[in-house]
Amino acid sequence: MLPHLIVLGAPGSGKGTQALKLVDTLGYKHVSTGDLLRAEIKNGSELGQKVSSIIARGDLVGDEIVLELLKKNCEVTKYSYIFDGFPRNAVQAAMLEDHLLKGTRKLAVYFKLDLEMLLQRIVNRRSCPSCGEIFNLQSKKPKKDDTCDKCGAQGLVHRKDDNEDVVKNRLDVFRENNEPLLAYYKNASVMAELDASKNEKDVFESLKNLLQ
């Protein structure tokens, strides 16, 4: 079984894009807590109603809430997972270890990127409503306007929390939590990093090398 992979990095650093490539090529399962929370909001569930204003502001949802959602949505003894968006802080890292990953093989990879590059990356991000493929109106335009290159679905989605004001807050929240989070995985000796400013293909090669 491949080691579980914990992808760390700011919003827009390319974690989700690379996770999808690993799913396609190596057979990983991808679990994104952001996607799970957005699905709850879309379904209008009680949980969705509780978290929607928090997400709209770009703040973090409570650790316990997200942990429960994560536990419901993965079977870590059966499959190798890419954890995307969880953990967001050192408390969540300890939760992930205690409740899900104790005794399993794992690697945490930090997608290192100059935060100044991120604002533009994120406000131009669009995603496919059907297969989740991620585009960028500047650096990775869909070949046909508003249509997914991969599956042909129409109407690429611009996330509500990908607007400039909210992104600024999300980056502040990231800055506050990132150092202790990286320190957690450094202490556990399961930490690697890659240069996330490179193009998509090169980042993918670096990621695969780390997994070998």
Which residues are at the interface with ligand AMP (CB under 6 A)?
11, 33-34, 37, 54-55, 58-61, 66, 85-86, 88, 92, 161, 170
Q: Residue 54 or residue 192: which is nearer to ligand AMP going by CB?
A: 54
Per the residue annotation, which of 29, 38, 106, 170 is the catalytic one? 170
* Cis peptide preceding 87, ω within 30 of 0: yes
Least separation, in Å, of the C-beta of 143 and ligand AMP?
25
Q: List phi, psi (to 5°) of 126.
A: -135, 150
Contact in structure between 131 and 153 (CB atoms under 8 Å): yes
What are the strands, taking DSSP E only, across 130-179?
Answer: 134-136
Q: Active site includes 140? A: no
Least separation, in Å, of the C-beta of 161 and ligand AMP?
6
Q: Find tokens 């306007």 and name the residue.
A: 145
Per the residue annotation, which of 29, 38, 88, 106 is the catalytic one? 88
Q: Residue 56 or residue 201: which is nearer to ligand AMP going by CB?
A: 56
Query: 3-state class of 74 per DSSP?
Result: coil
Q: Residue 23 or residue 54: which is nearer to ligand AMP going by CB?
A: 54
Q: What is the DSSP letter of 98?
A: I
Catalytic residues, by residue number, are 15, 88, 125, 159, 170
